[in-house]
């Protein structure tokens, strides 16, 4: 049965959305529930990524040594979808890390949602927003106590 990259793309998106929904809307105090976006979904996306890369990477004519080589690599739908799954897996994994760190820092869930949405949509931008906020947090708390 031939692989349908569009179907894999849609399934990957839906799977990642489930993880983000759990992370944003459900309580994080249940380890088994948190394990879904923290471990299960990133692992599934990583396995799908590995499978797609294995199917096409070595005969793609592309690589990572230059922009032209990367362009040739991503000219194949299987590799393009693999790249997308890579983004989905890593962004969700980083989102879980942000949520756990923000919980420990006492950052309210509503504020966390802004970081998580930015991470979901723009990856490193959400991480940077969280890191800058986290760096400023001690000063905010000191100002609030004064």
Q: Is the pTM of this model over 0.85?
A: yes
Structural domain range at position 40: 5-145
User: How many folded domains does the chain comprise?
Assistant: 1
Kindly report, residue by residue over 65-124, the tens digit of the pLDDT. Answer: 999 999 999 999 999 999 999 999 999 999 999 999 999 988 999 999 999 999 999 999
As a dihedral over the C-alpha atoms of residue 109, residue 36, residue 51, residue 58, rounded to 10 degrees, the angle is: 30
Cβ burial of 6 (10 Å; 0-12, 13-18, 19+) is exposed
CA-wise closest residue to 115 among 92, 99, 103, 137 = 99
Residue 141: which pLDDT band, with cuts at 50, 70 and 90? low
């Amino acid at each position: 049965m031939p692989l349908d990259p569009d179907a894999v793309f849609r399934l990957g998106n839906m799977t990642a959305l489930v993880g983000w929904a759990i992370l944003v809307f459900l309580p994080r105090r249940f380890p088994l529930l948190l394990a879904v976006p923290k471990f299960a979904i990133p692992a599934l996306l990583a396995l799908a990524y590995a499978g797609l890369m294995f199917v096409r990477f070595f005969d793609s004519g592309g690589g990572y040594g230059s922009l032209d080589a990367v362009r040739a690599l991503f000219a194949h739908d299987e590799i393009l979808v693999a790249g997308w799954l890579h983004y989905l897996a890593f962004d969700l994994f980083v989102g879980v890390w942000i949520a756990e760190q923000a919980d420990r820092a006492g950052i309210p869930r509503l504020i966390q949602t802004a970081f998580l949405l930015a991470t979901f949509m723009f990856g490193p931008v959400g991480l940077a927003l969280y890191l800058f906020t986290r760096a400023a947090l001690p000063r905010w708390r000191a100002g609030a106590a004064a």
